[in-house]
Every structure is written in C-alpha cells, then in structure tokens.
C-alpha cells in the first residue's frame, strides 16, 4: 500500500505477475496505476505491506532483472540515441547481461531509429523518444518488464511492433506488467487485467473472462445538444449502464433489434437534438463501465 | 543547383549530429560529460566569464585580500551552482528517476554525476589559476599547492551542489539555499573580516578549506597573510578532496531518493 500526502496512491493491492504472463493494470487517471508500477519498479517503497520479486524483498538484488519504461521519456538530450542506448546497454552488461553491438543495432532498427541514431535525442519527436525509451527497457532480455502507458506517442506500426516484441519476450518466459488504458492494445497482449479505481482493486481476472461478460452487448457513445438525459436513457429497455464522459454519454446495452431506435426516441422525448452517435462492439472499457459505473477514460 | 541542395543537406546533417557520434559511453559520467561538452555556447560562456572577472582583478592592482576573497567566492560558486542546478533539472525531467532504478549503487550514480561536473569545473578553475600565474608568477610550490586547493574546493563545492539538489526539486531554489549555506561558511572562513588570531573563530576557520584558499590566493597575488604556506595548502587540499569524495558517495541515496 502506498498513499501520498493528498490521500491519492494505491492499495491495498494483492497482485502477482507470473513468468510468461502479461498483466495489464487499467483505471482512470489518478487510480494508482503509475504508483503501483513505480512500487514494482523499486522506485517507490510501499508504506504498508510487502513486495517480492522472485521471492526477494531487497530491490538492489533485483534491479538487474527489470526492464522499465516510466511515463516520462527522459534522456540525455545532447547525446544521440546510440549513445543513450549504449549507456543503458553498459549498465545491463555490468549487471551480468551483456548486450552486443549487433543487439544495439537491432534495437535501433526495431525502433525505426537507425537513420537518426547519431542525432541528438533533443531533436527527436515525442514518438521517437518513446520508441527509444521502450528500446532501452527491452535491452538485455529483462525477466520482468514494467511499462507505464507504453503505447502513448506510438503510431499504429510502432504499437504493432511492440505487441510482437512483447509476445516474443513472453514466449521466452519474461513477465510483463503494464499500465495502460489503451484497450485495443491491452486486449491484444494481456493475459490478465487488473482494474483499479481510486487506488483500490476493482477486479482482477483473465482477459477472456472479462470480455465474456460483455458479449452480446453493444456500446453506444452519443453527443446531444444540452445535458444528456441520463434517467431517460437508463430507462431504455436493455440498457445496462449509462455514464457521462467528457463530451457526451456512453451506454452499454444488450444487443437487440430496435435498440438504437429506442435510444433516439428517448432523446426526442426530452427534446434533445442528437449531434453524434457511435456504435461499436464492447471492449474492456465497457467491462470497466459495468464494474465501476463510470468510464475508464472519464 | 543539385550540388547546392546536397551541400546544404550535408551541412544540416552535420549540425544535427551529436558530439562524438562514434563514441558510445560506457559510464554515466561519460554520457553526462558529453552532454555538457555538446552545449557549446554554454561551455564558452562558462570559460569566458571567469576570465571577465579574474583578468581585471589580478592585473589592476586590487588589494590581494579583497581580490583573493572574490576569487574564493567565484571558485565556490562555479562548483556549487552548476552541479546543483544540473541535478535538480535532471530530477525534474525524470532522468534521476531512470537512474534510480538502474542496477547501479547510489554512491556510483552520485559519484559519476559529480565527476562529470567536476571535470568541466576543473577547467574553469584552472583558467583562473593560469591567469593568476601569468600575472604574478608565483613559485612552483605555491602555484602547485594553490592549484590543488582550487581543485579540492571545487570538488567540495560540487558536493555542496549535490547536497543542495537533495534538498529541493526546483533549480531556481538552488541559489536561495546556496546563499543561506555559503554566506555563513565564507564569513566563518574569515573572507570578509580576516581570520581571528585566536579563539573559536580561529579554530573554525582552520577547519574550513575556504580560509586556506583565501590565504593561498592572497599569497599568490603578492599579499602577506598572517598564516599559510604551500605545505599547509597541500594538506588542506588533500583533506578537502577526501571529504568531498566521501560526502558525494554518502549523498547518493538522498539524491536518488531511493526508498532503500
């Protein structure tokens, strides 16, 4: 358990991450995802309770087995990607995990940074810095990868390559714990999902079990002129959940004929003009909405 | 036309290259030093500004007591400010967070940050000593011991900068803490009023390296301080350097704010 002076933080949390497993931690802003990752990464000490990595409780004994990408992609900006990467490779080598020059080149190539490898990192775009950060975390085959919002700043191709790399690492027995609300990415890589809300674990379960809970449902995201009429929308037959988002309302409802027509009629009945409507199959975000009664991204 | 375009592209590309692109640093201090050397304008200013102060000070017949006092303040500020501001900036950017979770002992991280800062500061300090040497041509023993003492005080000032960076997250606050810490230390070293001939003040000044450096500069500039000789300066330099290194190593956990 780790709480800050303002009461925010995380805990109590009971979570294990096994070898060859990807655990995704999801939750709205301020739910404690990053704090949990920082505890696992040996950066923050739990105020109460204990943390063990492979049965070891002393951080200095396990740091050489961790690959970490925090949210901030801080580098020595005046140095190049090759130089930054080379330093991290050297620290891994000093800890008994040698990284060859060829492995450095491969890491740069996988991150699509070869062409700019000798340019100062300070001249890189946000996405390039994120790719370099992930390359550094993945260097030297760490046994546990801890990734905070790994897809932030990545384009579709880079996110796809990250999925492939994680699958390859997990196939070789590495454990991965990542904090992300990118449900598309999480659904592609995670074995288990831990939902956090206000520092508490809402639910931890295998991904397939969670998705099974929303099978046969649909998600409707709509914007209307004026305040969304939540009671009227909740009264539509089949609607499970209705919650406000930053720009409208999100509904999860049982998939049935006439659902959309009923929702539109409910809006019309209370004189709300529809501005936008998106319909899609539900995903992890809808599971969270059902569990928490509030959206994951709200 | 195509040649001009290509030449312009090459010029842009060469400007875009990091310093020593073929050299991959194995150590943190190498990476940090690379970063400092790459900021060429800042580096030029850091080397030029001591000259701007020291050249008129030592060539215009300023009283050795006051000239020595200013040189000590300059050396101390050079060592403290750069390190303190640099490390707080590294914390604000998240770089220290990343260093803290590496499989490196905390003393090594603080030691390497210290070393990179010290190497650049040592060049600045040596420029000061060189100007004094050219202008006043002291004997080799006095020059050597003064130079050693300048380097040792720079090392201690670097360690003070690290200590200040452990206290605050804001680069701007470094100057505030610096004034609070340094003013009494320099006063107790007798920089403003001279070292008392006896009593507690005399003993305290004898424990602070700034008083020795002041005497060394005063002697080098042709003054006649009450105490001080090259032998005592060399001993003070050795002790000060040892204290600086020990303090730097001890400050590692506080700088990284490692939980344990």
Residue B260 has pLDDT above 50, yes or no: no
Chain B partners within 8 Å of A120 (Cβ): 16-18, 38
In a domain, A9, yes or no: yes
Same domain flag for A188 and A242 = no
The CATH number assigned to the domain holding A257 equals 3.30.70.920
In this complex, is the C-beta atom of B104 within 8 Å of any C-beta atom belonging to chain A? yes
In a domain, A297, yes or no: no
Verify whether the Cβ–Cβ distance A76 to B34 is below 8 Å.
Answer: yes
Verify whether the Cβ–Cβ distance B17 to A41 is below 8 Å.
Answer: no
* Lowest-confidence region among A116-120, B18-22, B107-111, B150-154: B18-22
Same domain flag for A176 and A278 = no
Among the listed residues A177, A129, A120, the one whose alpha carbon sits nearest the alpha carbon of residue A153: A129
Same domain flag for A49 and A66 = yes
Verify whether the Cβ–Cβ distance B97 to A70 is below 8 Å.
Answer: yes
What is the model's pLDDT at position A4? Answer: 66
Among the listed residues A20, A29, A10, the one whose alpha carbon sits nearest the alpha carbon of residue A297: A29
Residue A56 has pLDDT above 70, yes or no: yes
In a domain, A292, yes or no: no
Report the pLDDT averaged over residues B9-34: 75
Verify whether the Cβ–Cβ distance B25 to A83 is below 8 Å.
Answer: yes
> For residue A197, what are the contacts with CB-CB under 8 A and spacing of at least 6?
A27, A28, A31, A292, A294
Q: Are B43 and B37 in contact (CB under 8 A)?
A: yes
**Average pLDDT over all residues of chain B:** 90
In a domain, A291, yes or no: no
Report the pLDDT averaged over residues A239-262: 89
Residue B31 has pLDDT above 50, yes or no: yes
User: Of the candidates A172, A190, A211, which is a domain's last residue?
Assistant: A211
> For residue B37, what are the contacts with CB-CB under 8 A and spacing of at least 6?
B19, B43, B120
Structure tokens at B55: 């050249």
Quick one: what percent of chain A has pLDDT higher than 70?
A: 97
Q: Which of B26, B98, B113 is the best residue to mutate to test the A interface, defined by the most A CB atoms within 10 Å of its own CB?
A: B98
Burial class (CB in 10 A: 0-12, 13-18, 19+), A24: buried
Q: Which of B9, B24, B94 is the best residue to mutate to test the A interface, defined by the most A CB atoms within 10 Å of its own CB?
A: B24
Report the pLDDT averaged over residues A59-69: 94
What is the model's pLDDT at position A297? Answer: 76
Residue A119 is nearest to which of B16, B25, B27, comparing CB atoms?
B16
Same domain flag for A82 and A219 = no
Chain B partners within 8 Å of A83 (Cβ): 18, 21, 23-25, 31, 34
Residue A10 has pLDDT above 80, yes or no: no
In a domain, A44, yes or no: yes
Residues forming beta bridges with residue A192, ordered by sequence position? A23, A206
What is the model's pLDDT at position B12? Answer: 53
**Rounded (to 5) percent helix, strand, coil in chain A:** 35, 20, 40
Highest mean pLDDT among A221-230, B58-67, B241-250: B241-250
3-class state of residue B221 by DSSP: coil
Q: Which of A4, A72, A80 is the best residue to mutate to test the B interface, defined by the most B CB atoms within 10 Å of its own CB?
A: A80
What is the model's pLDDT at position B22? Answer: 73
Highest mean pLDDT among B20-29, B51-60, B233-242: B233-242
C-alpha of B114 from chain center? 9
In this complex, is the C-beta atom of B94 within 8 Å of any C-beta atom belonging to chain A? yes
Ramachandran class of B95: left when φ > 0, alpha when ψ lies in -120 to 50, beta otherwise: alpha
d(CA B66, CA B69): 5
Same domain flag for A176 and A277 = no
pLDDT band at A282 (very low <50, low <70, confident <90, very high): confident
In this complex, is the C-beta atom of B19 within 8 Å of any C-beta atom belonging to chain A? yes
Residue A91 is nearest to which of B94, B104, B259, comparing CB atoms?
B104
pTM over 0.95: no
Same domain flag for A137 and A15 = yes
In a domain, A298, yes or no: no
Residue A83 is nearest to which of B24, B93, B259, comparing CB atoms?
B24
C-alpha of A18 from chain center? 18
Residue B193 has pLDDT above 70, yes or no: yes
Same domain flag for A16 and A57 = yes
Minimal C-alpha gap between A63 and chain B (Å): 5
In B, minimum Cα distance to A89 occurs at B26
Digit-coded pLDDT (tens) for B105-154: 999 999 999 999 999 999 999 999 999 999 999 999 999 999 999 999 99
The CATH number assigned to the domain holding A154 equals 3.40.50.300
Same domain flag for A42 and A140 = yes
Q: Which of A35, A38, A43, A117 is the best residue to mutate to test the B interface, defined by the most B CB atoms within 10 Å of its own CB?
A: A43
Residue B72 has pLDDT above 90, yes or no: yes
Q: Which of B28, B31, B99, B113 is the best residue to mutate to test the A interface, defined by the most A CB atoms within 10 Å of its own CB?
A: B31
In this complex, is the C-beta atom of B9 within 8 Å of any C-beta atom belonging to chain A? no
Q: In terms of residue numbers, what domain contains A159?
A: 2-211
More confident residue, B153 or A11: B153
Same domain flag for A197 and A228 = no
Digit-coded pLDDT (tens) for A128-164: 999 999 999 999 889 999 999 999 999 999 999 999 9
Chain B partners within 8 Å of A82 (Cβ): 21, 24
Report the pLDDT averaged over residues A172-182: 96
Same domain flag for A225 and A184 = no
Minimal C-alpha gap between B87 and chain A (Å): 12
Residue B102 is nearest to which of A63, A74, A79, comparing CB atoms?
A63
Same domain flag for A199 and A220 = no
What is the model's pLDDT at position A155? Answer: 93
**Interface ipTM:** 0.83
Largest CA distance in chain A: 70
Residues forming beta bridges with residue A201, ordered by sequence position? A196
In this complex, is the C-beta atom of B32 within 8 Å of any C-beta atom belonging to chain A? yes
In B, minimum Cα distance to A104 occurs at B24
What is the model's pLDDT at position A288? Answer: 93
Q: How many CB pairs under 8 A join A and B?
A: 105
Angle formed by the axes of helices B64-93 and B209-220, nearest 10°: 130
In A, minimum Cα distance to B12 occurs at A119
| Sheet with A249-254, edge to edge strand ranges | A239-244, A249-254, A217-224, A274-280
Residue A199 has pLDDT above 90, yes or no: no
pLDDT band at A97 (very low <50, low <70, confident <90, very high): confident
Structure tokens at B12: 């842009």
Query: What's the full length of chain B, in residues?
Result: 260
Q: Give the total number of structural domains in chain A.
A: 2
In this complex, is the C-beta atom of B18 within 8 Å of any C-beta atom belonging to chain A? yes
Same domain flag for A193 and A123 = yes
What is the model's pLDDT at position A6? Answer: 65
Residue A22 has pLDDT above 80, yes or no: yes
d(CA A52, CA A43): 14
């Amino acid at each position: 358990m780790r709480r800050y002076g303002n009461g925010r933080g995380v805990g109590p949390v009971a979570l294990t991450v096994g070898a060859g497993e990807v655990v995704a931690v999801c939750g709205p802003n301020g739910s404690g995802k990053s704090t949990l990752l920082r505890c696992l990464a040996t950066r923050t000490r739990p105020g109460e309770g204990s943390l063990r990595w492979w049965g070891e409780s002393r951080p200095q004994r396990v740091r050489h087995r961790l690959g970490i990408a925090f949210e901030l992609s801080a580098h020595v900006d005046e140095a190049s990607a090759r130089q930054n990467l080379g330093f991290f490779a050297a620290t891994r080598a000093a800890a008994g995990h040698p990284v060859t020059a060829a492995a450095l080149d491969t890491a740069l190539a996988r991150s699509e940074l070869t062409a700019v490898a000798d340019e100062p990192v300070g001249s890189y775009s946000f996405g390039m810095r994120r790719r370099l950060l992930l390359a550094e975390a993945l260097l030297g085959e760490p046994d546990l990868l801890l990734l905070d919002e790994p897809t932030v700043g990545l384009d579709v191709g880079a996110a796809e390559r990250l999925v492939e790399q994680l699958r390859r690492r997990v196939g070789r027995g590495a454990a991965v714990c990542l904090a992300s609300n990118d449900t598309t990415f999480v659904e592609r890589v995670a074995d288990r999902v831990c939902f956090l809300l206000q520092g508490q674990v809402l639910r931890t379960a295998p991904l397939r079990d969670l998705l099974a809970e929303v099978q046969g449902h649909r998600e409707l995201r709509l914007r209307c002129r004026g305040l969304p009429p939540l009671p009227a929308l909740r009264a539509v037959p089949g609607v499970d959940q209705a919650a406000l988002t930053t720009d409208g309302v999100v509904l999860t409802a049982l998939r049935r004929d006439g659902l959309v027509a009923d929702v539109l009629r409910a809006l019309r009945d209370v004189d709300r003009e529809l501005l936008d409507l998106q319909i899609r199959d539900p995903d992890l975000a809808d599971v969270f909405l059902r569990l928490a009664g509030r959206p994951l991204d709200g | 036309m195509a040649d001009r375009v290509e030449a312009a592209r090459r010029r842009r590309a060469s400007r875009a290259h990091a310093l020593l692109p073929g050299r991959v640093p194995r150590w943190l201090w190498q990476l940090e030093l690379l970063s400092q050397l790459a900021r060429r304008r800042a580096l030029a200013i850091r080397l030029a500004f001591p000259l701007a102060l020291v050249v008129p000070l030592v060539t215009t017949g300023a009283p050795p007591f006051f000239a020595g006092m200013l040189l000590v303040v300059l050396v101390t500020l050079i060592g403290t400010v750069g390190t303190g501001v640099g490390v707080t900036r590294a914390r604000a950017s998240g770089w220290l967070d990343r260093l803290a979770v590496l499989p490196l002992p905390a003393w090594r991280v603080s030691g390497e940050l210290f070393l990179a800062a010290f190497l650049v500061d040592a060049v600045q300090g040596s420029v000061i000593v060189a100007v004094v040497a050219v202008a006043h041509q002291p004997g080799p023993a006095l020059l050597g011991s003064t130079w050693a003492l300048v380097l040792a005080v720079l090392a201690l000032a670097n360690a003070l900068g690290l200590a200040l960076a452990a206290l605050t997250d804001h680069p701007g606050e470094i100057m505030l803490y610096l004034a609070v810490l340094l003013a009494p230390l320099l006063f107790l070293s007798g920089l403003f009023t001279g070292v008392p001939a006896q009593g507690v003040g005399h003993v305290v000044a004898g424990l602070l390296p700034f008083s020795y450096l002041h005497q060394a500069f005063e002697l080098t500039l042709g003054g006649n301080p009450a105490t001080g000789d090259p032998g005592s300066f060399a001993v003070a330099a050795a002790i000060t350097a040892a204290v600086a290194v020990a303090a730097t190593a001890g400050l590692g956990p506080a700088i990284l704010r490692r939980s344990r």
